[in-house]
Amino acid sequence: MLEAAGVDAAEERVYRFLLGVREADTGAIAAQLGWERARVESLLASLHEKGLVGRAAEPPAGGPERYVPMAPDAALRPLLLRGHEALEWARRGVEQLAEEYRAGGRRHDAGQLVEVITGASVIRQRLRQMAYGAGEMRWLCKARPVALAAAENDEEWELLARGVRYKTIYERELLEGPGMVDNVARSIRAGEQARAVGSLPVRLVIADSSMAICPLVYESGEVLDGTERVTGPADQAGEPTAAVIHSSSLLDALIALFESQWAAATPLHVTDSGELADFDDGPNPVVHLADDERYLLSLIVAGVADKAIASQLWVSQRTVQRRIQALMQRAGAMTRTQLVWQVAQRGWLTNG
């Protein structure tokens, strides 16, 4: 019973005997258990090392050394902890070996890198599996859904409530569909980060940078868009077909494609009245900047350092950084490089 704590069956029997008699010498234990004295001495030495038995304080004058049992919880807890650590290391080792096995298989078998799945129900089931096992989902959502209305799917809102992160880029034509503006506004209120572009090159979903699903070809039978977002091409039987891409250089390329589209897209926001903002102004809505904001942007684009900008504007360097952060939020940029790119794309320094 105590093997998991590093105590074998023979040691456990000696320990249980001592629990019953409370104190005994080696000869008495050997006689009672019917074992050789040398074996009992070895077992007692092992139990003593593990903290399960101790030597009696005052053995009888000239008599043999006697042993007493120690409290099992105090002795076994460290053993159990060491056993748990060993099991954890073993578990990690198995996981590492399994990943090496899969990686080796992927290197020698391209079929393990790209998996082809067919049928709307199969694609949808795979999407569910990806979403419910992910911490972050990234979507490229093209227009013209034909198989599943956005309002029919509430999985995203459930997962957002669980803490799953969603980053979604919508084609503006998709947002013009019936009910889509309200649907996207609801997703944003639930925590989705959403952006819009004029057009997208492909339908795509990425889960945790470890797996992606995208269509193989484009035909008139595209399906699974809206909040379902991924559509496969129709094969000759009218069934959609999609590719499931596992960790590989191809997946890295798809992730880079998403990030480049994300940097170029316009952030979508929900106004205080609950409406979707930055939607009706086209792919590059005109932003009305104050003169000081325009001047600040021109200095940033020119590569002027914050300290020099602060000197020219007669403000503190902290104020400059705060104003830059505000401009980055308006542009939906995470870095200054993205801010400069967005300024150029949207014509903020050329529009009046």
The model's pLDDT over 108-121, given as tens digits with 9 standing for 90+, comes to: 555 567 888 888 77
The pLDDT, as a whole number, for residue 279 is 53
Classify residue 152 as exposed, middle or buried by CB count within 10 Å of its CB (0-12, 13-18, 19+): exposed
Q: How many CB atoms lie within 10 A of CB 159?
A: 19
Retrieve residue 31's tokens: 């006689």
Average pLDDT score, the chain: 76
260: pLDDT strictly greater than 80: yes
Confidence of residue 219 (pLDDT cuts 50, 70, 90): very low
Task: Name the token pair of 59.
Answer: 């053995």
pLDDT at 4: 61
* Nearest partner of 179 among 282, 277, 276, 278, judged by Cα: 276
Alpha-carbon distance of 47 to 147, in angstroms, equals 69
3-state helix vs strand vs coil in the chain, percent to 5: 50, 15, 35
Percent of the chain beyond pLDDT 90? 4
Place of tokens 């980060």: 193
Q: Among 132, 127, 169, 142, which residue's Cα sits nearest to residue 225?
A: 142
Q: Left (φ > 0), alpha (ψ -120 to 50) or beta: where does 191 sit?
A: left
Tens digit of each residue's pLDDT (9 = 90 or more) over 49-93: 877 778 887 666 667 788 888 777 666 666 666 666 666 776 777
b/e map 184-215, b = 16+ CB within 10 Å: bbbbbeeebbbbbbeebeebbbbbebebbbbb
pLDDT at 160: 87
pLDDT on residue 276: 66
- Do 320 and 296 meet the contact criterion of CB atoms below 8 Å apart? yes
Q: CB–CB of 233/240 below 8 Å? A: yes
Range of lowest pLDDT (91-95, 183-187, 242-246)? 91-95
| C-alpha–C-alpha distance, residues 82 and 168, integer Å | 46
CB 72 within 8 A of CB 11: no
258 φ/ψ angles, rounded to the nearest 5 degrees: -60, -45
Q: How far apart are CA 120 and CA 231, in angstroms?
A: 8
**Averaged pLDDT for residues 248-272:** 83
- Per-residue pLDDT, averaged over 173-183, amounts to 80
The helix (H) or strand (E) run that includes residue 242 is strand 241-246
